[in-house]
Amino acid sequence: ATATIGVVGLAVMGSNLARNLASREGNTVAVYNRTTAKTDELIAEHPEAGFVRTTTVQELADSLQRPRTAIIMVKAGAATDAVIDELTEVFEPGDIIVDGGNALFTDTIRREAAIRDTGIHFVGCGISGGEEGALNGPSLMPGGPAESYETLGPILASIAAVAEDEPCVTHVGTDGAGHFVKMVHNGIEYADMQLIAEAYDLIRRGTGKSPAEIADVFQEWNSGELASYLIEITAEVLRQTDEATGEPLVDVILDAAGAKGTGAWTVQTALDLGVPVSGIAEAVFARSLSSRLGQREAARGLPGPSQEWTVDDPETFVEDVRQALFASKIVAYSQGFDEIAAGAAEHGWDIAKGDVAKIWRAGCIIRAQFLGRITEAYADDPDLSALLLAPYFRQALGEAQEAWRRVVVTAAQAGIPAPGFSSSLAYYDGLRAEQLPTALIQGQRDFFGAHTYRRTDRDGVFHTLWSGDRSEVSAD
């Protein structure tokens, strides 16, 4: 046995990850793919990698030094189950199977439990950064048994992205914790992208700037507190001209956004946990709305505002939009970290939220300067009740909130949809409210379903005899 690690599944992600692994000192990589032609193609294209060719899982197992470690990069779902079953047949106690695909965390929990008794370690590892990240350094979010991390940690650290001399990898928690955190990462990514799109739309329709001019705005924003990969690529996309028509590319791309499902998982999971991730949910819904082309076509005649909308001072407006974007982004991250905390509590994971922010600083799609602030916030106070209450974010929201309100009002008056900005503001105002109208909802629930309520002035549970004499009784 000569190989130090195996990669199973050699489509784009697996091939790139295998090449990344092979390029690091000390690694010899065995590769296996169900269709051997793909294995041979990869080996032929990259002789420099020194791959060990294997054509069956048995050959793969035989080629690996003990404890064996194999990373699976196949299609999430049934394919992953099939490969795990095959590997479990040929691996031995102490060996490690890593699933680097985009698995749903509950599948990871199930898979880990199913093979635990064999003594083989199963690690669900979130991998972010797309194809480019897999090749040059992704952000890695491994879960699974802590002891497997002793073997796996150094291998993953060798291929991870690096932020301020630290590899972007940490043992997130047991069983499905890594895939859970990766899921929330993707949810936050949806929110970030939606907020950026709203900012672009408002600026374009409010100031009449061209996409290329708005690219300049984003480029400038990228040197401030919003500095991030997504802002950077936004400028690039807006600057792109379509070869066929000479128009800005963004004007010829159909405005129907696709989705692979991880944003929806984040929201579905949050609903189950009772965590309000409204910013993320609006981002998922905004994509769904955009793709309902028939319905949008049918609704095109619905009336909008009667008054023409003009922005008096474009420079001030652009700055207001920047502040609204920053404030809404803080809300989205705060909600995402709430979901991580709730998931950890539900599933018994000990997740260091500051470390999660740390490993998102490079390699992944939401990498941003901002994440350093999140790490600092949790370092100062690991029990922070909400991220947005940390001094830095509290101050930023305080400074941005007037501009944020102006932008939301303007969007509503102008008839421009800004679901991310407006729902984040509503969340902010809901969270800071001394009194919410949910008292009335409790009254309604008690009226039609005798669901009872608590009182502000006394302990206990109460019910009003709505269909009787309307007196109040104790329902303890």
Two structure tokens written together for 370? 């901002």
Q: How many whole angstroms separate alpha carbon 96 and alpha carbon 153?
A: 12
Which letter does DSSP use for residue 209 in this model? -
Among 24, 43, 53, 79, binds ligand NBP (CB under 6 A): 79
Rule CB under 6 A: is residue 83 a binding residue for ligand NBP? yes
Among 43, 76, 227, 237, binds ligand NBP (CB under 6 A): 76
> Are the C-beta atoms of 197 and 168 separated by less than 8 Å?
no
User: Is 182 an active-site residue?
Assistant: yes
83 versus 387: smaller Cβ distance to ligand NBP: 83
34 versus 205: smaller Cβ distance to ligand NBP: 34
Q: How many whole angstroms separate alpha carbon 182 and alpha carbon 101?
A: 10
Residues in Cβ contact with 445 at an 8 Å cutoff, skipping those fewer than 6 apart: 451, 453
Rule CB under 6 A: is residue 418 a binding residue for ligand NBP? no
Q: How far is the CB of 120 from ligand NBP (least distance, A)?
A: 18
12 versus 253: smaller Cβ distance to ligand NBP: 12
Site string for ligand NBP, 104-143 (x = CB under 6 A): -----------------------xxxx-------------
Q: Is 392 annotated as a binding residue?
A: no
Rule CB under 6 A: is residue 11 a binding residue for ligand NBP? yes
Among 24, 34, 204, 445, binds ligand NBP (CB under 6 A): 34
Q: How many whole angstroms separate alpha carbon 88 and alpha carbon 75?
A: 18
Rule CB under 6 A: is residue 73 a binding residue for ligand NBP? yes
Two structure tokens written together for 470? 């309307």
Q: How many whole angstroms separate alpha carbon 457 and alpha carbon 90?
A: 65
> Are the C-beta atoms of 358 and 379 separated by less than 8 Å?
no
Q: State the residue for tokens 């690219």.
A: 215
Residues 150-209 binding ligand NBP (CB under 6 A) are none
Q: How far is the CB of 80 from ligand NBP (least distance, A)?
A: 7
Closest CA relative to residue 39, chosen from 72, 15, 16, 22: 15
Chain-centre distance for alpha carbon 129? 11
> Are the C-beta atoms of 105 and 126 separated by less than 8 Å?
no
Rule CB under 6 A: is residue 75 a binding residue for ligand NBP? yes
Q: Which amino acid is at 412?
A: A
Neighbours of 311 (CB within 10 A): 18
127 versus 197: smaller Cβ distance to ligand NBP: 127
Q: Is the dihedral of CA 99, 13, 49, 20 positive or negative?
A: negative
Neighbours of 437 (CB within 10 A): 8
Closest CA relative to residue 419, chosen from 276, 270, 296, 283: 283
Two structure tokens written together for 264? 């929806």
Quote the strand ranges of 139-243, DSSP E. Answer: 139-142, 162-163, 166-167
Q: How far is the CB of 319 from ligand NBP (least distance, A)?
A: 34
User: Is 329 an active-site residue?
Assistant: no
Q: In this chain, which residue has its C-beta nearest to ligand NBP?
A: 101
Q: How far is the CB of 221 from ligand NBP (least distance, A)?
A: 25
Q: Is 190 annotated as a binding residue?
A: yes
73 versus 217: smaller Cβ distance to ligand NBP: 73
Q: Is 301 annotated as a binding residue?
A: no
Q: Is 74 annotated as a binding residue?
A: yes
Among 3, 5, 7, 10, binds ligand NBP (CB under 6 A): 10
Distances, alpha carbon 252 to alpha carbons 63, 228, 241, 418, 425, in Å? 50, 26, 10, 22, 32
Single out the segment in contact with ligand NBP by CB under 6 A; choices: 74-82, 192-200, 251-259, 413-421.
74-82
18 versus 311: smaller Cβ distance to ligand NBP: 18
How many residues touch ligand NBP under the rule CB under 6 A: the total is 23
Q: How far is the CB of 258 from ligand NBP (least distance, A)?
A: 13
Q: How many whole angstroms separate alpha carbon 383 and alpha carbon 206?
A: 42
The single residue of 48, 131, 164, 189 carrying the catalytic annotation is 189
Site string for ligand NBP, 210-249 (x = CB under 6 A): ----------------------------------------
Phi–psi pair at 460, nearest 5 degrees: 115, 175
Cis peptide before 67 (omega within 30 of 0): yes
Residues in Cβ contact with 118 at an 8 Å cutoff, skipping those fewer than 6 apart: 88, 91, 93
Q: How far is the CB of 184 from ligand NBP (least distance, A)?
A: 14
Rule CB under 6 A: is residue 74 a binding residue for ligand NBP? yes
Q: Is 186 annotated as a binding residue?
A: yes
Point out the annotated binding site: 9-14, 33-35, 74-76, 102, 128-130, 185-186, 190, 260, 287, 445, 451
Point out the annotated binding site for NADP(+): 9-14, 33-35, 74-76, 102
Which residues in this chain contact ligand NBP in the complex, by CB under 6 A?
9-14, 33-35, 38, 73-76, 79, 82-83, 101-102, 127-130
Q: Which residues are catalytic?
A: 182, 189
